[in-house]
Chain A
Amino acid sequence: MSGSSNIVAMKKIVQQLRFEANINRVKVSQAAAELQQFCIQNALQDPMLTGVSSSTNPFRTQKVCSFL
């Protein structure tokens, strides 16, 4: 295993770490508040939270028609 390919690989690792170290980080409290706001604002448009009435449910159990 050639030493120079190890050095090339290591250079890439260092380059990537430099890039990732330089980003700006937002405080978790602020990020959490915005995430909560998004959830709450969209809650009424979330059928899994509001429930689906059987009249509007495309997956409602299919009723069987029988001839009387």
Chain B
Amino acid sequence: MGEMEQMKKEAEALKTQIEAARKAAHDTDMASAASGVAPAPRVQLKTRRTLKGHLAKIYAMHWCTDNRLMVSASQDGKLLIWDSHTGNKVNAVPLKSSWVMTCAYAPSGNLVASGGLDNMCTVYNLKTPVIKTVKELDAHTGYLSCARFLSDTEILTSSGDTTCVLWDLETGKQKTVFLNHVGDCMCLSLSPDMNSFVSGACDSLAKLWDIRDGQCKQTFQGHTSDINAISFYPSGNAIITGSDDCTCKMYDIRADQEVISYQDAALNSGVTSLDLSASGRLIFAGYDDFNCNIWDSLKGEKVGVLSGHDNRVSCTGVPGDGMCVCTGSWDSFLKIWN
């Protein structure tokens, strides 16, 4: 038997072994295990702010760690920094390329980043007298789908070139390249302890990575289309994904498998974005059908809906203190709900 044939055989055997191990651990699923848990309250949130200022579709938003400022990105070619309490715009950052797909706020509040079809991640300093571009991270060979700062000196990016990269912001160079997806990487989420992150891709897989050594530690299957959104559960032991297959799923990291699927026969729009409430009990998921649905993460039931946008909800974010949820839309508005 040729070497190639032998390896193909071993690959198949390993896949079977993994499936059997997962099945052996699958003594129940999350919804059954949660049958004794009191249902989450019916969640009825009101729009508290409608932030008007962008002139085109909003593609991304991210909260600052002060739970008050946030950055949004629109294909009108601007990043806007908002004071969510007053609803005022604090800063506007003009972008070299208007084809922006992601934005991020550094935990320090000093920096923001953006990127998109220019294949680059551009980092800006908000604290200099005039906002300055401090770095243009230029090595991806595909669009930038997501960026997240670890600190003022490191940032993680995911790209349409199927890789994720950890960058050193002092040198502007790649520190680690995360290679394993076979489809465009669409989203990423840092673990609460910052030692690992998860990525979702158009190969319908989610992967868990060790940030320092670049190793792909686990691969989560189950979705049947692109994964557009991903988030760690606040406990760090599970992840939630949202996909073009119209479902969200929870994967438990230690059980290494899908434990619940959030879906409804009446829902046939893709999931674009998601975030979790402070305890993880509620999932806020934005859909192509202009709504944001609220799911009970333990029981798998829909417990509320945020309706108010006139176009696709493209981004969703809960600040660190869990006091509200922000939705951004192709209708050019951001709404804050609680």
On A, residues with C-beta under 8 Å from B are 3, 6-7, 10-11, 13-14, 16-21, 23, 25-29, 31-36, 38-43, 45-49, 52, 57-61
Contacts and interface: CB of A to CB of B under 8 A. Distances in A.
Nearest to B252: A31
29 contacts: A6-B4, A7-B4, A10-B11, A14-B7, A14-B10, A16-B180, A17-B14, A20-B14, A20-B217, A21-B14, A26-B252, A26-B255, A27-B25, A28-B255, A29-B33, A32-B28, A32-B29, A35-B235, A35-B237, A35-B238, A35-B298, A39-B280, A42-B280, A45-B278, A46-B279, A47-B323, A48-B45, A52-B323, A59-B49
Interface in B50-68: 68
Nearest to A10: B7
A13 B282 CA distance: 36
A26 B65 CA distance: 33
B216 A16 contact: yes
Contact of A36 (B29, B34, B84, B180): B34
Nearest to B41: A49
Interface in B1-42: 3-4, 7-8, 10-11, 14-15, 17-18, 21-22, 24-30, 33-34, 37, 40-41
A10 to B, nearest CB: 5
B127 interface: no
B298 A7 contact: no
Interface residues of B, number: 64
Given A28-B25, A39-B281, A49-B281, A23 B217 contact: yes
A32 B322 contact: no
A16 to B, nearest CB: 6
Contacts of B106: none
Tell me the interface secondary structure of chain A in the complex: helix
Contacts of A41: 279
Contacts of A17: 10-11, 14-15, 18
B30 A35 contact: yes
A45 B325 CA distance: 15
B95 interface: no
B242 to A, nearest CB: 18
A37 B307 CA distance: 31
Nearest to B9: A14
Interface of B: 3-4, 7-8, 10-11, 14-15, 17-18, 21-22, 24-30, 33-34, 37, 40-41, 43, 45, 48-49, 68, 84-85, 180, 215-219, 233-235, 237-238, 252, 254-257, 259, 277-282, 297-298, 318, 321-325, 336, 338
B33 A26 contact: no
A27 to B, nearest CB: 5
Contacts of A11: 7
Contacts of A39: 37, 279-281, 297-298
Nearest to B216: A16
A40 B28 CA distance: 20
Given A31-B252, A38-B235, A47-B322, A59 B48 contact: yes
A41 to B, nearest CB: 8
Contacts of B281: 39, 43, 46, 48-49
